[in-house]
Amino acid sequence: MTTRSLPHGVFLGSHALGEGVLSRKQLQSGLFRRLLHNVYADPGLPVDHALMCRGVALIMPADAALGGRSAAAWFGAPFASPADPVTVIVPTVSPWRGPRGVRVHRTDLSLGAVISVDDDVRATDPVRTAWDVATLERTPDAVATLDAMLRAEFVNTDDLARLHRWAPGQWRGRRAQRALELADGRAQSPPESWVRVACHFGGLPHPIPQFEVFEEGIFLGQVDLAWPEAKLIVEYEGEYHFDGVQIVKDDGRYERLIAAGWRVIRLSSADLRNLDGVVRRIRAELAEGPAAG
């Protein structure tokens, strides 16, 4: 296709028609997937948030950029769900409202630069992205995103500390500070981050992410979250855990931890739908104190 398009099988219908590459009948035949008004994609492409971002990048103004969680996915964070709106940052004076499926945030872009990612898709730079994530997203999602960006080394603790100092007096500055304070690059998955944030809001002591457990100099394993003084561990078991080989490895590791006096709370995706219940379970275990080893 010779239309002006992003090199991922995403294109503007009006350009395809104007250049004679496709007829209106072909465009409306269902041969191509409609992402947004006037934006189409090869039907063989997976419909994910990245694809939606590339589609939006074709229609957003020249002074706009992908931002928030939509930009963060290019900086080490997981992509949002395809059902989540694509976040676009525009200057305060911009009249652009965007189509359905786009969340437009009007703000001063002077805090950070706009850069090109993934074949000239415009996005806010990592530090500016971290700020918008901290102000725009719910705290659990913001922390999970910031954790991932820290882990991937697109931002560092000095960057977040600088944003934290800058926040007072800014729009949603206190909200941003809360997320920035809780960010920890040791976390290796969003569920770990969500549980850690839930513990914070539940008034529990902060756990240590990715804690290495040793007993008498013997390494017993690296665990998702730990309260060493209470000898309590929380582990999230994703789909990978249910692989036959992984089940054997994990069960053997848990047996060694329990034999050494550690208590283990094992969480599944179903548990994450009731984080208040998870916090109650952790609180009850912490109240009991360490088991006899």
Judgement on whether residues 168 and 195 belong to the same structural domain of the protein:
no
| Residue 202, phi then psi, degrees to nearest 5 | -85, 0
Q: Look up residue 1 and give its two tokens.
A: 């296709």
Judgement on whether residues 101 and 171 belong to the same structural domain of the protein:
yes
Judgement on whether residues 22 and 58 belong to the same structural domain of the protein:
no
Calculate ∠ Cα 36-37-38, nearest 5°: 105
Q: Which amino acid is at 154?
A: F
Judgement on whether residues 167 and 63 belong to the same structural domain of the protein:
yes
Give just the sign of the alpha carbon dihedral 195, 198, 203, 208.
Answer: positive
Q: Look up residue 133 and give its two tokens.
A: 């994530």
Judgement on whether residues 206 and 175 belong to the same structural domain of the protein:
no
In a domain, 216, yes or no: yes
Going by their DSSP bridges, the two strands 5-6 and 102-106 should be labelled as unpaired
Judgement on whether residues 38 and 64 belong to the same structural domain of the protein:
no
List C-alpha distances in Å: 213 to 87, 118, 258, 259: 40, 40, 12, 13
Judgement on whether residues 20 and 90 belong to the same structural domain of the protein:
no
Judgement on whether residues 40 and 163 belong to the same structural domain of the protein:
no
Q: Which residue shows structure tokens 């109240």?
A: 287
22: containing domain: 5-45
How many domains does one find in the chain?
A: 3
Judgement on whether residues 195 and 163 belong to the same structural domain of the protein:
no
In a domain, 72, yes or no: yes
In a domain, 84, yes or no: yes
Judgement on whether residues 209 and 222 belong to the same structural domain of the protein:
yes
In a domain, 20, yes or no: yes
pLDDT in the model for residue 119: 76
In a domain, 293, yes or no: no
Tell which of 122, 151, 182 closes a domain. Answer: 182
Q: What share of residues in the chain are helix, strand, coil (percent, to 5)?
A: 45, 20, 35
In a domain, 203, yes or no: yes
**Taking a C-beta distance cutoff of 8 angstroms, is the pair 172, 142 a contact?**
no
Judgement on whether residues 105 and 198 belong to the same structural domain of the protein:
no
Judgement on whether residues 161 and 214 belong to the same structural domain of the protein:
no
Tell which of 125, 157, 182 closes a domain. Answer: 182
Tell which of 144, 160, 182 closes a domain. Answer: 182
pLDDT tens digits in sequence order for the chain, 293 residues long: 444 444 568 999 998 899 888 889 888 888 899 999 999 999 889 999 999 999 999 999 999 999 999 999 999 999 889 899 999 999 999 999 999 999 999 998 865 689 999 877 999 999 999 999 999 999 999 999 999 999 999 999 999 999 999 999 999 999 999 999 999 999 999 999 999 999 999 999 999 999 999 998 999 999 999 999 999 999 999 754 444 444 546 678 899 999 999 999 999 999 999 999 999 999 999 998 776 54
CATH number where 197 lies: 3.40.960.10
Question: Quick one: CA torsion of 237, 238, 240, 244, rounded to 10 degrees?
Answer: 40
**Taking a C-beta distance cutoff of 8 angstroms, is the pair 210, 223 a contact?**
yes
